[in-house]
Amino acid sequence: MKIVILDGYTLNPGDLSYDELKKFGEVIIYDRTPQDLIVKRIGDAEVVFTNKVPITRETLEACPSLKYIGVFATGYNVIDVIAAKEKGVTVTNIPSYGTGAVAQFTIALLLEVCHHIGAHSDSVKAGGWSSCEDFCYWNYPLIELAGKTMGIIGFGRIGQDVAKLAKAFGMNVCAYGPRYKAESGADVASVSLDELYANSDVIALHCPLTDETKGIINTESISKMKDGVIILNSSRGALIVEKDLREALDSRKVAYAAVDVLSTEPPSSENPLLGAKNCIITPHIAWAPIESRTRLLNIAIENLKLFLAGTPQNVVSK
């Protein structure tokens, strides 16, 4: 069996092993695959793994040997799953591998907003403390979370984990989303979107990107929020109309934003958030601790194993 990995570098820059995958056949690994080489590199392979390299109807038609596509991610919008189903190609994804990692990172973004630990450390190393007349100083307002309200848009597994962590800091938590589960044990109030906007000191986005949620954070929704709100996004960049958020940051309607995702990745140098004040941007790394990447790879291998055994799991091309 011929197995091709189209863009393996982000998942495995060299700290994971493909030995278990190689037991199934010849494995050809590409760190990255440009658009014009997708069909050539798939060739006569029966199995393909991809993270962000798209596989379109045209690609499927040009690669008739293909029987299985494994997505190295939870989201599978890069695959034409309708065409795959028509052609009898099974597509699987990797759900839930990084729930804890993304929840932890969301809180890390919030804590950085509250304390600016990196900036204060840099200031000390630059001589700021040594030359200070007082025993301490701070260059940014410091924020205590206890008693404040976090509103979570999207209350699936990650949203529920974030709620539990926020509660541990003494925050009140409310949530909006069709997957809200009162029995989750998180002691979280289910509210309307307008109620969430009006009452939240911190808003965290944990919903999928759909036609309904695209651009959910925009000038109109921001106008319904508290003055000085903090917005966190470790879900999908296109949930935010970035131009509108930049204007709200400039006006201080939004006090801080901290995002791990942008609408286009890598971003254009023209992205309005890149030059925004009080905006922390990290390069889509919430999912990437070695522990979660190891889980992802192990699940991907198990997905292929079960497909070959005739009992596939995590199938999205139904």
Where in the sequence numbering do the catalytic residues fall?
A: 236, 265, 284
- CA-closest candidate to residue 97, choices 54, 24, 157: 157
Q: Residue 221's closest CA among 196, 255, 257, 246?
A: 196
The whole-angstrom separation of Cα 298 and Cα 153 is 30
In the DSSP assignment, the letter for residue 182 is: G
Tokens of 186: 């998180």
Q: How far is CA 243 from CA 99, 246, 262, 274, in A?
A: 29, 5, 12, 11
- Distance, in Å, from the CA atom of 313 to the CA atom of 5, rounded to the nearest integer, reads 20
Q: How many CA atoms lie within 13 A of 235 on its CB side?
A: 28
CA distances from 267 to 32, 69, 151, 281, 282 (A): 18, 27, 27, 11, 11
User: How long is the chain?
Assistant: 318
Task: Identify which of 172, 166, 167, 158 has the alpha carbon closest to the alpha carbon of residue 206.
Answer: 158
